[in-house]
């Protein structure tokens, strides 16, 4: 496994070098909207401590991240009027990981929703901002 790259896009978001639509932040984690959402309300949770993925993360970091995943998932379901959610997490390129900073995808879903592929253009910033507002309000 390759070492963690402190210049990956999520590390740049944490440093404020790239803008994001923040949903939640605490001392150890940061949650924000995915710019290529697979469903409305698709957000990400990352640790502030650099880890390439779940395989090299400190167990204490994982504990904090999963607590934030649970908190944000509940808010995403409520804020987006969903009935449930998918939590996705990938480890290394063969498994689908494309950004090599530990992260969890939260996809709020209703019965009959279709999940789009995680490719293509970026979503409209106004839509992402509105979805982030709805999720923050449900926290």
Give this prediction's pTM. 0.97
How many domains, in total, are found in the chain?
Answer: 1
Residue 31 lies in a domain: yes
Indicate whether 127 belongs to any domain.
yes
Domain assignment present for 39: yes
Residue 106: which of 39, 10, 58, 8 has the closest Cα?
39
| Structural domain includes residue 2 | no
- What does pLDDT average to in each consecutive run of 10 residues of the chain (139 residues)? 93 98 98 97 98 96 98 98 98 97 98 90 95 98
Decide if 26 is inside a domain. Answer: yes
State the Cα–Cα distance between residues 118 and 77, nearest whole angstrom: 20
Is 28 a residue of the active site? no
What is the residue-wise DSSP string for 32-77? EE-SS-SSTT-EEEEESS--SSTTTS-HHHHHHHHHHHHHHHHHHH
**Domain region containing 110:** 9-138
The active-site residue out of 101, 103, 105, 131 is 103
CATH for 94:
3.30.428.10
Decide: 77 and 39 in contact? Cβ < 8 Å: no
Chain segment 7-40, per-residue pLDDT in tens: 999 999 999 999 999 999 999 999 999 999 999 9
State whether residue 87 is helix, strand or coil. Answer: strand
Q: Is residue 4, in this structure, part of any structural domain at all?
A: no
In this structure, is residue 126 part of a structural domain? yes
DSSP 8-state assignment for residue 96: T
């Amino acid at each position: 496994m390759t070492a963690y790259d402190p210049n990956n896009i999520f590390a740049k978001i944490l440093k404020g070098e790239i803008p994001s639509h923040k949903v939640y932040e605490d001392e150890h984690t940061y949650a924000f909207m995915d710019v290529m959402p697979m469903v409305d309300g698709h957000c990400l949770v990352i640790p502030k401590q650099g880890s390439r993925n779940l395989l090299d993360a400190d167990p204490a970091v994982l504990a904090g991240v999963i607590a934030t995943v649970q908190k944000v998932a509940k808010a995403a379901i409520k804020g987006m009027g969903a009935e449930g959610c998918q939590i996705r997490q990938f480890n290394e390129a063969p498994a689908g990981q494309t950004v090599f900073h530990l992260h969890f995808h939260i996809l709020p879903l209703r019965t009959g929703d279709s999940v789009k592929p995680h490719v293509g253009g970026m979503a409209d910033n106004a839509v992402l901002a509105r979805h982030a507002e709805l999720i923050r309000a449900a926290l």
